[in-house]
Amino acid sequence: LQLASCCRVPFKTFTAEALREFEHHFPGSGFVRKTVGVGSVSGPAAWLLSQGQLLGETLREQGVTITLGVAH
């Protein structure tokens, strides 16, 4: 929250139900599903924020997943 405030960008969260609508578009993880209730978070969240305008491939490194999208 502090980073979003300092950078003057909105901070948005989604319910598991909202992410579930789009999780079938992205590879899932059993660990993530067990932890948060959906198999994928990064991809569906980026999809929702960018209205499907994703940039490149999802990055996966050392347990961190990042999906980029363009929001207008």
pLDDT tens digits along 45-68: 999 999 999 999 999 999 899 999
pLDDT of 58 reads 94
Percentage of the chain with pLDDT > 90? 90
Between the alpha carbon of residue 42 and those of residues 6, 15, 36, 61, the distances in Å are 22, 13, 12, 13
- Under 8 Å CB-to-CB from 65, ≥6 apart: which residues? 41, 42, 43, 58, 59
CA dist., res. 51 & res. 49, Å (int)? 6
Residue 71 — pLDDT band, cuts 50, 70, 90? Answer: confident
